[in-house]
Amino acid sequence: MFSEIWHQMQGVHGVYLQWGTALEWNILFTFVLCVLILVCIGLSLVLYRGRQTEGNALWLHLLGLCIFPLFLLPFANFTVFEYSKQERFCASCHASMDPYVADMTAPDGKSLAASHYQDRFAPGEECYACHANYGVHGTFTAKLLGLRDAWRELTGTYTVPIKMTLPFPNSLCLKCHNGARNFMKEDSHTDPGGVVARDILEDKTLCTDCHLPGHMIAGQPKGAMKAS
Amino acid sequence: MAPLKKLFRGDWPARLLALAQILIGSVAVIGIATVVTLNTYLLLGFAAMQVLIVAGVVLFVVVAMLAQRGMVLEHFGPGETVIRQGDPGRNVYVIKSGTVEIVTTRPDGSMEVADRLGPGDHFGDVALLHHSLPQRFTVRTATPAQIFRISPATFVQLYSNLPEFREYLRQRKEPHLRQLERMK
């Protein structure tokens, strides 16, 4: 974490780029709160050895065992939930995810993932932006499925090539492209009246039927990733 | 009921507090490791361990409430140890019923009953008032006994605010100490 923060603070040619997102602040607060909790516990053991439940020791415990931990709960959970949206989190399942990350980040990549990555439309959160559905329900489903994937990675019970658990619905594309100028000006995308075509809305015509596959993995035919 | 009573006897608020410290401290250690390494499984483990924080906080609240109890009546069967020689002086005990034995350990390791105490007698105040000195003796019950355990805060409050109480304690120096001095 710290080398990463330091790297970002260095910027490019000394020019400050970015630091201070909600995630970065939360990581910092989580770290500080954890240290404060351990300091309080350590101090209580040193200063109030054998009298932990008496007098001023209870005030120290109030800080270390109640106030700081209660503050830690939201910061820690936010850190975990936000960090799990990051591309580096998804990419940390090396054996199974490496080909997909390599395809996405390849400078000359031709897949949808690569072109979206090059567009920098969701820096750092590319996997999540395309694979998680809209809204709280989409986030919840993505987290649950992610937990299952993590378990499979941990236990080595996944099969190669990996397949998506659920079909890739057009709504995942439409959550960004619906209403976009370049998308709406294409006749095949719209019905008379200038609204998105019903076939696309109802997944009768899939985006990937016409466009390049989401990922292009060497030795893997197009469509191999479709849900089992 | 007897094993349950035994479980709840003694300084179990301190044990609960130690458990709360272990629970929350372990979450804090994992938390530091998590944010420093940003390891996937540490992150997931850290998220799952949040429940330990809730458990730790609840334990602390219970301990904080229990710490306010000034005096607790504890029940002992015959032959049970109330305090051990060498333990820090934490509480003051007043016998409600039954008999206890004051046992000292000689340098050669053998044990000797120095005194017997009965209803109305007290013990533990000397070690407590001398900055939690180690107990100089072991106290064990000779018969079934009911003993009040007075918390240090309560005892110190009484001792500080009631000169009559101080004088009473001075005159009625712990009987076993008189006995121990006679033995020297």
Q: How far is A193 from chain B (nearest CA, A)?
A: 48
Establish if B1 belongs to a structural domain: no
- A130: contact with B, CB 8 A cutoff: no
Is the domain of B103 the same as that of B166?
A: yes
Q: What is the ipTM of this complex?
A: 0.76
Cβ-based contacts of A45 with chain B (< 8 Å): 21
Note which residues in 12-31 of chain B have CB less than 8 A from chain A. Answer: 13-14, 17-18, 20-21, 24-25, 27-29, 31
* Residue in B14, B50, B64 closest to A76 by CB: B50
Pairing of strands B71-76, B122-123: unpaired
Range of the domain at B142: 71-183
Same structural domain for residues B166 and B79?
yes
Q: Is residue B88 located within the same domain as residue B170?
A: yes
A77 touches chain B (CB under 8 A): yes
Quick check: is B2 in a domain?
Answer: no
Residues 40-59 of A with CB under 8 A from B: 41, 44-45, 50-55, 58
| Chain-chain contact of A70 with B57 (C-beta, under 8 angstroms) | yes
Task: Report how many domains make up chain B.
Answer: 2
Q: How do the domains of chain A map onto residue ranges?
A: 2-83, 93-210
Tell whether B62 and B75 lie within a shared domain: no
Residue pLDDT, tens place only, B17-34 = 899 999 999 999 999 999
Say if residue B23 is in the same domain as residue B54. yes
CATH number at residue B102: 2.60.120.10
d(CA B150, CA A30): 40
User: Distance (Å, rounded) from C-alpha B158 to C-alpha A102?
Assistant: 74
**Cβ contacts of residue A7 below 8 Å, gap of 6+?**
none
Each of the 228 residues of chain A gets a pLDDT tens digit; together they read 555 555 555 555 666 566 677 888 888 999 999 999 999 999 999 988 767 777 778 889 999 999 999 999 999 999 888 888 888 888 887 777 888 888 888 888 888 888 888 888 787 788 888 888 777 888 888 888 888 888 888 888 887 777 777 778 888 888 888 888 888 888 888 888 778 888 888 888 888 888 877 888 776 655 544 443
Q: Is the minimum CB–CB distance between A62 and chain B shorter than 8 Å?
A: yes
Residues B88 and B169 in one domain: yes
Helix, strand, or coil (residue A62): helix
Would the CA dihedral through B19, B25, B29, B31 be positive or negative? positive
B22 and B78 co-located in one domain: no
